[in-house]
Amino acid sequence: MSCLFIVMIVDMDECTHNISGCNQNCTNTIGSYFCSCYPGYEMENDNRTCVDIDECARNISGCNQDCTNTIGSYFCSCYPGYDIQNDNRTCVDIDECARNISGCNQDCTNIIGSYFCSCYPGYDIQNDNRTCVDIDECARNISGCNQDCTNTIGSYFCSCYPGYDIQNDNRTCVDIDECARNISGCNQDCTNTIGSYFCSCYPGYEIEHDNRTCVGYDIQNDNRTCVDIDECARNISGCNQDCTNTIGSYFCSCYPGYDIQNDNRTCVDIDECARNISGCNQDCTNTIGSYFCSCYPGYEIEHDNRTCVGYDIQNDNRTCVDIDECARNISGCNQDCTNTIGSYFCSCYPGYDIQNDNRTCVDIDECAHNISGCNQDCTNTIGSYFCSCYPGYDIQNDNRTCVGYDIQNDNRTCVDTTFDTTYIYADIDECAHNISGCNQDCTNTIGSYFCSCYPGYDIQNDNRTCVDIDECARNISGCNQDCTNTIGSYFCSCYPGYEIENDNRTCVDIDECARNISGCNQNCTNTIGSYFCSCYPGYDIQNDNRTCVDIDECARNISGCNQDCTNTIGSYFCSCYPGYEIEHDNRTCVDIDECARNISGCNQDCTNTIGSYFCSCYPGYDIQNDNRTCVDIDECARNISGCNQDCTNTIGSYFCSCYPGYDIQNDNRTCVGYGIQNDNRTCVDTTFDTTYIYADIDECAHNISGCNQDCTNTIGSYFCSCYPGYDIQNDNRTCVDIDECARNISGCNQDCTNTIGSYFCSCYPGYDIQNDNRTCVDIDECARNISGCNQDCTNTIGSYFCSCYPGYEIENDNRTCVDIDECALNNSGCNQNCTNTIGSYFCSCYPGYDIQNDNRSCVGTIAPSRMNVSSSIALQIAEPARSYSTLTDIASSTPTQVVSSIQINPIPTLVSILTAAGIIICCLVIAEAIIAAIICYKKKKRQSRRIYPAVHDERRIETRTTGQIHEIPTENGTMETIKESTKNQYSLKSVMETMQKKSQIHNYSPTKKYGSKYLKPVAHDIPTEYLLSVGTAREITQNRHPGLESSTEEDLGTQMDKLADGLIMRREAWI
């Protein structure tokens, strides 16, 4: 049998076979491949490994404040007091005041990156720097009150003891001279004392118990006779109105409209309106000693000066029509009311009389007044009367006249006995015999009877029948407002704003204010039948006529402040611009004379201006940049002295001097000189003789100047000066060190240390000094990598702090992060095995158990027995003195040894294969078909057991970031966690295909940290299909090897890839 071999060379897809070594993206090319990285990563030199780009350290993040690097990305954050913008990079200041999140309960001032709270005048800020509480100026003794002080919310006021008056400064109390003001009440002598006074009497008088009144008698010329003193005539009574003299004394009384007080001397006005004794039927205004009535708009007062009548104006605001007081029931008439044009009058029903108030009607007692016309009995009723007759008499049709008759003995003839008083009859009691016909009360009389009615009923013309009296219609109820008739009676009720009195007739006004039912939230004024609300000063009443709201006097420009105005609840206060202070009226601002008060800071001349001031210097001084400090002008150095020889500067001035042989002139500037001639007698003027030379003494060179630092010789003199950092003293020779730190002229913005002749600046810890050796700026310990943090570092102003990745905790040194052993902490939630990893952990199960989707819970399964492996596959282990004949031996050995040292036996020689080529090739062809079918079946069966979703699902998924843990969905709806800090989108299909292909070689643990050398995969035995491909028909059960780890440069995945590649190569060679 001959066989034809055809060799085909095809490209190997390193990406699909996972042998590329790319740890992120892999792109296959013909004959090769290349690796690329996810966004946020960059490629290492090996062109395979992707590492995170630290955008923060490279300063490419665009963050304008804090930047925090994450694996594969970064995020920007802001300092406290800033908000990040929509670009997630730019930080802008939060205006805590405008957002009302500052917590300030009074004034809030926003500053860049923060804010501060302040308080209104009269308030102090608390330790929380937000809450303002009232300053108790009285308790702190800062009010300036020299007697009583009363604290109020945000202010205070001073008051004085009795006998003192407060001054215009509202603080100082001075004694009231009650005697000079004539308010003592003394009727003779008055002596003022500090805070009080006392009364005394003239000789011959004694003071009364009130300690004010003096009474007495005058002795006559005979020194025996006493006569009464008329205190009233002498004006010593103390009465402030009427005085009536009595023998040995007197008494005071008051004018009409006044009441006398308890001292029996002083009269005070009676408020007739408040006491409701004025008689005004509308408005009443009290005056001193009297009152007057007035009317509501549209009414006029009558001649009695109490009653208001009036007209109503129409909608055209021109036409006036009469007010019908009767129809409106505002007349006050309690019976008939007749309207007239512009007024009305009251009248009474028959049987009633009108009273003096011209409103009230009372019953006329016709019987008592003897105006009834009854010639026998008369009975008065309310509003009427009735006549009745003696027994034996009959009343006539006029209901007044009584007549009587007697029957004669013939029993037929009647004689008139009306005026026969001797005639006596035997009375019949019609009431007792019930023959009267009365339907209510019956009263028997001698010879007759009469019917009467219960109260509330009227007898009819038959003098027997009673019908209800409608007291309301007849206006006899006595109700002065509403009346409701009932059978046999009636009841009175009142208009709104009134209540009925105990007599059940009279309605009196309800004082809604006194009862606190008005709804007014400030002032309430009661009126007859109603009330009205008003507000305290500084408030306006609202449309509901009850609620008062604060008037913003500042906004309305009614405060009277001539500079700044600040509104407060119910009031306001004025304040002044800088350079002004407020006057006693608390409104007017006047200029502060900073010069006179010595608060200007000028160290020489000060000139006050309106609202400010300016400083100037004495002659010989220059003003500095602070516009306050004057320093000496060195006229000599500036060459402005006018000296024509030596010039010596002094503080604020200078003086000129001359070389030896010269004299100074009257101008104190010009030097002239004389030279002696050869005769040693004659002097000639050498002022302008330039040939005349004098030998100068160099005091500096001879060390006779006395300067303790620099000495400069001049012609005929010298001057001393100091090194930088020293000041010359008044002796113009001695130099002393300038303490630049104490004078605050060093320019250091943090620490300053003085040295002899100089100083140096230093910074607080966490700051670096700049090139100017003065300015300190924050050290970013994180960016400089000097923090000592071994994970995250966050810089702060002047310091920094370290923090750890998830799964780590910081040590006591606050720098070092150590792994948290989650397994030691309650086994981390694993219900069987827990294996800690650096920065994480994973759970695994005992043999015979499967881990669940939560990656923590284990449930039991039936463990399949291991099967022997055909000895036809022998794997030689590189380790000397040990060999593995089957994969069963591998399964029982240490996984690390297996992975790190297995090698494939050499391919059988071609000679041995050709020996039985025909038979073996045929068998292999048949076996290959069987194996291919089994592999396909097993692959589908195994894939159906995997937790991954179907690969045809083209949905896009986004990994969900939880710290550095990502979750991907599984086919049963749960989430599989993968430790990764990058948030990316992947095609579900591409993710699943990649994971399935890797699972053909080995399964990765969900806790794998990509990009790390530390891997904790769960190892599998060699997959079944590869064992079958080399001729074994026995299925080897996949067995997990918990705890298999690799921390070498070549990770476990790469080793397993090589193992798989070797098996494939061996299989292809055999074929």
CA distance 446 to 1018: 137
The answer to whether 464 and 438 are in contact (CB under 8 A) is: yes
pTM of this prediction exceeds 0.85? no
CA distance 196 to 191: 9
Phi, psi of 895 (to 5 degrees): -60, -35
CA distance 250 to 4: 163
Task: Give the pLDDT confidence score for residue 675 in this predicted structure.
Answer: 57
Q: Which of 442-474 are b and which e, b meaning 16 or more Cβ less than 10 Å from the residue's Cβ? A: bebbbbbbbbbbeebbebeeebbbbebbbbbeb
**DSSP class of residue 1036?**
P
Phi, psi of 427 (to 5 degrees): -75, 145
CA distance 284 to 301: 12
Tokens for 803?
Answer: 């923090």
Helices (H), 1002-1032: 1024-1029
Q: Which of 1014, 894, 997 is nearest to 1005 (CA)?
A: 1014
Which residues of the chain fall short of a pLDDT of 50?
1-7, 423-425, 690, 692, 694, 862-912, 943-968, 971, 978-992, 994-996, 998-1053, 1055-1056, 1058-1071
Q: Which of 544, 538, 532 is nearest to 572 (CA)?
A: 538
Task: Give the pLDDT confidence score for residue 249 in this predicted structure.
Answer: 81
Task: Give the pLDDT confidence score for residue 714 in this predicted structure.
Answer: 86
In this structure, which amino acid lies at residue 264? N
In Å, the largest CA–CA distance within the chain is 205
Q: Helix axis angle, 1052-1070 relative to 988-1001, nearest 10°? A: 70
In this structure, which amino acid lies at residue 147? Q
In order, the DSSP letters of 803-837 are E--TTEEE-TTSS-EEE--TTTTGGGG-SSEEEEE
Task: Give the pLDDT confidence score for residue 953 in this predicted structure.
Answer: 36
Q: Indicate the SS3 state at residue 918.
A: helix
